[in-house]
Amino acid sequence: MLNKFLGRFSEDIGIDLGTANTLLFVKGKGIVMNEPSVVAMNTRTNQIIAVGHAAKDMLGKTPPHLITTRPLTKGVISDFEVAEKMLKYFIDKIHEDSFTIIPRPRVVIGVPLEITEVERKAVEDAALSAGARQVFLIEEPLAAAIGARLPITESLGSMIVDIGGGTTEIAVISLGGVVTSKSLSIAGDELTKNVSQYIRDVFNLLIGERVAETVKCRIGSAMEFGEPMEMEIRGRDLITGLPKQITVNDGQIREAIHKPIQTIIENIKATLEVTPPELVADIYERGIVLTGGGALLRGLEQKISKEADIPVTVASDPLTTVARGTGALLEDDELLKSMTLPSTFDDYLT
């Protein structure tokens, strides 16, 4: 009863708590925040000095007493204290323009498929400590499917591949639940690491994470296209120790990221192999939907379609599908109750 009363006034929040980026959806307002999941800390004072974009700008540029850290690894919390402070920063930032005292929000958070009970409790604890009144956890593929407006509550098979920063979630969904699935620790961050390692091995050039990510985004591709692309990059020569500039092309970057992309495709095919034939027939007719930042890699949908022999489409605005899915659940209490994971607490009401 009290929750219903408070719900009339609180600004409920849907959160895509990602390894690379955290997105916040506020009920009635849409997506209001998209910030990197990066925190900068002063080790002398143990204080947080920057969060999000400001912290990411510091990557690779800080003196010894300042460190930049990602409190999430492979989609789950690896540093509880920092994750709690990051969430609190984001939630407080949403409410900083509110002049009246408003109740603490209900929060829906997307989590990986194979999250353990201990990891679930860490997410719930962090959100509650950051200022949430109630916390609901939903598996990311379900949230992404809702955000992509797939008919997941019907007796139809839908296949979604959510390629985030730390994890790739592959799921076949029907009647409001995951029928078959695979969760991989190979995703956008792995592609970035492969680009960095390739440039180190082939050109003896050491580059930072941000440079490798920029190369991947600008000229990275899963398939060859008609017009070749090139990009100049700068780093430190491993032989001389001096600054050096080289030019790389799209073919070289494609070679660098070929192995992790192939692993994702093989796991998509392996998931289809254990999916009931009735659902496979639906997927063959309706196709596979790609979401997450990794879905933006040029030519990825064509390569998956060619190798799996199934139509593949990229969701509209794939970066925000999980956040939009959590936001849609805030609008539908019945759907929220039926799809959220069991709570590790008996009662969230505070």
| Angle, in degrees to the nearest 10, between helices 250-273 and 300-308 | 40
Which residues does 262 contact at the CB level (< 8 Å), separation at least 6?
Answer: none
Distance CA 209, CA 235 (A): 11
What is 173-210 written as a DSSP string? EETTEEEEEEEES-SHHHHHHHHHHHHHHHH-EE--HH
What is 318-340 written as a DSSP string? GGGHHHHHHHHHHT-HHHHHHHS
- Name which of 34, 35, 36, 40 is nearest 69 in CA terms: 40
CATH, domain 188-256, list 1.10.3720.10, 3.40.50.300, 3.30.70.260, 3.90.640.10: 3.90.640.10
Give the per-residue pLDDT at 348: 42
Per CATH, which fold does 2-143+321-339 belong to?
Answer: Nucleotidyltransferase; domain 5 (3.30.420)
Q: Has this prediction a pTM greater than 0.85?
A: yes
Distance CA 326, CA 142 (A): 9
Distance CA 57, CA 47 (A): 18
Give the per-residue pLDDT at 226: 78
Distance CA 4, CA 349 (A): 11
Distance of CA 124 to the CA centre of its chain: 18
Residue-level pLDDT, tens digit, the chain, 350 residues? 445 444 454 689 999 999 999 999 998 889 999 999 999 999 998 888 999 999 999 988 889 999 999 999 888 889 898 999 899 988 888 877 654 456 788 999 999 998 889 999 999 999 999 889 999 999 999 999 999 999 999 999 999 999 999 999 999 999 999 999 999 999 999 999 999 999 999 999 999 999 999 999 999 999 988 788 999 999 999 999 999 999 999 999 999 999 999 999 999 999 999 999 999 999 999 999 999 999 999 999 999 999 999 999 999 999 999 999 999 999 989 999 988 888 876 544 44
What is the homologous superfamily of the domain 153-186+263-317 according to CATH? Answer: ATPase, nucleotide binding domain (3.30.420.40)
338 Rama class: left (phi>0) / alpha (psi -120 to 50) / beta: alpha
What is 229-245 written as a DSSP string? -EEEEEEEETTT-SEEE
Query: Domains of the chain: which residue ranges?
Result: 2-143+321-339, 153-186+263-317, 188-256
- Name which of 257, 234, 228 is nearest 246 in CA terms: 234
Structure tokens at 316: 């509209």
C-alpha distance from residue 128 to each of 21, 52, 299, 305 (Å): 20, 20, 41, 42
pLDDT tens-place string over residues 2-29: 454 444 546 899 999 999 999 999 988 8
Query: Same topology for domains 2-143+321-339 and 188-256, yes or no?
Result: no
